[in-house]
Amino acid sequence: MKVIYEKRASDFNYRNDKGGRLTLAYPAHIHKHIEMVYMKKGQVRVFINAEEHILSSGELLVVFPNQIHRYEDIERGAIYDLFIVSPDLIPELSARLLTEEPQDPIIKGVDGCSRIVSLISALSEEKSFPQQSKDLLLKGYLLALMTELFEHFTLKSVNVEESRAIRSIVKFCSKNYKDDISLSSLENGLHLSKYYISHLFSEKLGISFSDYVNHLRVSESCRLLRTTDMSVTEISYAIGYGTPRTFNRAFIKQIGCSPSEYRKKGRVDSLGVSIPRERTIVGEENK
């Protein structure tokens, strides 16, 4: 699994399907926000901390902070509302949001709950809120919605330290994968045992540390091969490989051809992962 750490410029992001044209499909990622999807029509496959779920029409998905999650299309043309919200907007509930999580993240039959549907509808109009009362309205609607949703959940405690460690590890790798990164550098940078970090990679992320770094580097190299005129040698050094030979070996292992062949064929990036910029905003055209 290739996990992206995402940092956003805004505490509140809303997006819909744009007339059934915008898919929910997105690779594995983690952030400190709450993510909610109200599925009005269609289905999508969701993985949260490696557990598979199917989100169908009339259902609401709630992903709590620091949960690794991703989406896969089941059918095109799904109609949905997507909200990504910082717990900082509702501090009254933030402690619970950060220390608990639902046993089942999907609430069924939401389309029959008029109060929930009306609150979702109100939040989708956030851009039209009067500026002088926008913050209060946003907080009020979010508090009311989350209070309603808590009534539908059976919550369980989470290992807060482990959750924070995973988020820190993914964030550190996303920022430093182009450097001479190693388990020892993570140990020094995060003040965590490298053996504990290695355990989290294998048990929670489902990938070794070295393979994870290679995935990040090769994914970025695909972007550079498609969008720049940099030579293969220049790219190999730019993404953190000591020699072009090492880069070629890692690229062929993941993509199935050499970087030069990839560029000539103009292939679409088959990794399904993008490297987030410092201020990634989910809510644009790619998520």
Domains within the chain, CATH numbers bracketed:
4-157 (2.60.120.280), 160-265 (1.10.10.60)
Contact 25, 70 (CB under 8 A): no
DSSP SS3 for 34: strand
Token output for 91: 């501090």
CA distances, 186 to each of 46, 66, 120, 163, 170 (Å): 30, 19, 41, 16, 10
Q: Which amino acid is at 190?
A: L
Select, from the ranges 205-214, 253-262, 272-281, the one with the highest average predicted confidence (pLDDT): 253-262
Q: What's the sign of the alpha-carbon dihedral 268, 270, 272, 276?
A: negative
pLDDT digits (tens, 9 = 90+) for 10-68: 789 999 998 888 989 888 888 888 999 999 999 999 999 878 999 999 999 999 988 88
pTM over 0.95: no
Contact 170, 5 (CB under 8 A): yes
Mean pLDDT computed over every residue of the chain: 86
